[in-house]
Amino acid sequence: MSALDITILIAEDESAIANLLEIALSGAGYRCLRAENGTRAADLLERGNVDLALLDIMLPELDGYELLDWCRTLGVPAIFLTAKGDVRDRVKGLRLGAEDYIVKPFELMELLARVETVLRRCGKTDRILRLEPDIEVDTAGRVVRRGGVPVSLTAKEYELLLLFLQNRNIALYRDRICERVWGPDYPDGSRTVDLHIQRMRKKLGLEKRLVAVYKIGYRLEDPV
Ligand code: CA
């Protein structure tokens, strides 16, 4: 496991560029997944283990714009990475919901800085995560406090809480929750997910905010 425990998907069909990205990102402590076409990228996104996606726009099979739809559905922030530099493409990418837009050729230092900014903005790198009004998670120490008082969570309950904190207001599919917290080979998904979520939200008083979404899974909502 890398020090940062953050996985970045590189969806890029030019292997020279993908290599460069992988070397730079791995060197900075990120775990990298690579896809040389859109179908493969969508598969990797669906497995639910991606924290950030770098999407080339001109990709075989599914292009970057189509992949952005997958990212949005799955709650994965995305940065477009493309040779197309004109203003219209840039505006289109951002309007569709990309977090940022980088034009090739790019400086690696700039790329790393932008990756860091997006991860921070999406709450993926903060050491202390807060959930209003009174919950605080120290991710370095793995300590959860409610109103300043430590709450004892099991390892799975903690992983669940982290997943929801990093995907607020997004409906997460049971399958995705299961894969993310239990891994891809876990046999019996939904019942286990339900039980662990029920226990976790009770311990933290989140019964009204961590809500079941019919036929999908669960969503952590901001207070009204
Ligand atoms: Ca390309």
Domains along the sequence of the chain with CATH: 3-121 (3.40.50.2300), 128-220 (1.10.10.10)
Are 45 and 70 spatial neighbours (Cβ–Cβ below 8 Å)?
Answer: yes
How remote is the CA of residue 171 from the centroid of ligand 1, in Å? Answer: 31
How remote is the CA of residue 11 from the centroid of ligand 1, in Å? Answer: 9
How remote is the CA of residue 167 from the centroid of ligand 1, in Å? Answer: 29
How remote is the CA of residue 108 from the centroid of ligand 1, in Å? Answer: 18
Q: What is the pLDDT of residue 189?
A: 59
How remote is the CA of residue 208 from the centroid of ligand 1, in Å? Answer: 45
Q: Is 3 helix (H, G, I), strand (E, B) or coil?
A: coil
Are 167 and 210 spatial neighbours (Cβ–Cβ below 8 Å)?
Answer: no
Q: What is the pLDDT of residue 85?
A: 67
How remote is the CA of residue 88 from the centroid of ligand 1, in Å? Answer: 18
How remote is the CA of residue 56 from the centroid of ligand 1, in Å? Answer: 6
Are 82 and 103 spatial neighbours (Cβ–Cβ below 8 Å)?
Answer: yes
Residues 11, 152: Cα–Cα separation, whole Å: 39
Half-sphere exposure of 9 (CA within 13 A, CB side): 32
Any idea which residue has 């070397």 for tokens?
23
Q: 10 Å Cβ neighbour count for 63?
A: 15
Residues 153, 200: Cα–Cα separation, whole Å: 7
- Sequence-distant (6+) residues with CB within 8 A of 133 are 223
Residue by residue, pLDDT tens for the chain (224 residues) are: 334 578 999 999 999 999 999 999 998 889 999 999 999 999 999 887 899 999 998 899 999 999 999 998 888 999 998 876 677 777 777 777 788 888 888 888 889 999 999 988 887 776 778 888 889 988 778 899 999 999 999 999 998 998 898 888 888 888 888 877 887 666 565 788 899 999 999 999 999 999 999 989 999 998 76
